Amino acid sequence: MIYLPAMKTMPFALLSLAAAGLLAAASPSAAQDGQAGPWKSLFDGKSLDAWRIYKKDTAPKLCEAPQTTACWEIKDGVLMKDGNANDMITREQFGDFEFELEWKIGDAGNSGIFYRGSEEYNAIYWSAPEYQLLDNINAADNKRPDHLAGAMYEFSSPPVDAVKPVGEWNQARIVAKGNHIEHWLNGKKTGEFNVGDEEWNTKLAASKFKVYPNFAKAPKGHFGIQGNHPGMLALRNIRVRELK
């Protein structure tokens, strides 16, 4: 029999701390939980009071019966559109944040979530990064992996199995802290990057956004929802919390 030196027993408190550290590393929200503010709803299921049309102070157009297209509709706590509608942005601006919403898209649908957007240009996507919302199977804009659902448009290529089939609810999550950005889709990371580093600059130079000098440079800005693209889109449980 071989005798080994007795191992020192780690105090229970240290074991607990180590276990907590492992759990934190495994949890996508754990890094923010200790320094995040309270959740703030951006859609109460009844109105668009927190939103306005891009570059205007008026609220997005809501459908009035019998109209069902070229407008937004609120039904049973869900915000939806069928076909083109106003692009809309939040009235408030946000800098470092954790953002979540649930989304469902129709056949061949295409939309997106913008963040840290400004109103210095004619369109929000000239300044704001985009979290892509897409029917990966039938949408016209499905030819590139960095254009698929969950992508940071033209900057990251999500796992192909991250999105759920058309007609099912998905959860989008965006984390922004300083120059560090993360995209998540249904619990899977679909993009991670640091604005301004070598990898980012290489991708920017190869993208259509290279002609916009202030693209993704704002430290804070508006969230935006793309309405002027085809297809059905439904949204619910839109919320954000500040990261400190």
Q: Is the pLDDT of residue 4 over 70?
A: no
Nearest to 150 by CA among 120, 124, 129, 121: 129
Q: Do 40 and 241 form a contact (C-beta atoms < 8 A)?
A: yes
CA distances from 16 to 21, 31, 116 (A): 9, 17, 38
CATH architecture designation of domain 37-242: Sandwich (2.60)
Question: What is the SS3 assignment for 236?
Answer: strand
Write out pLDDT tens, residues 32-77.
Answer: 455 999 999 999 999 999 999 999 999 999 999 888 888 999 999 9
Share of the chain above pLDDT 90, in %: 82
* pLDDT at residue 30 greater than cutoff 50: no
Phi, psi of 175 (to 5 degrees): -120, 125
Question: CA–CA separation, 216 vs 97, rounded Å?
Answer: 15
Is the pLDDT at 232 greater than 70? The verdict is yes
Domain-wise residue ranges, the chain: 37-242
How high is the pLDDT of residue 34?
52
Report pLDDT digits (tens) over 179-205.
999 999 999 999 999 999 999 999 999
The structure's pTM equals 0.86
pLDDT at 131: 98
C-alpha–C-alpha distance, residues 70 and 152, integer Å: 26
Partners of 74 in the beta sheet? 79
- Residue 136: partners with Cβ closer than 8 Å, 6 or more residues away: 142, 148, 149, 160, 163
CB neighbour list of residue 6: distance below 8 Å, 6 or more residues apart? none
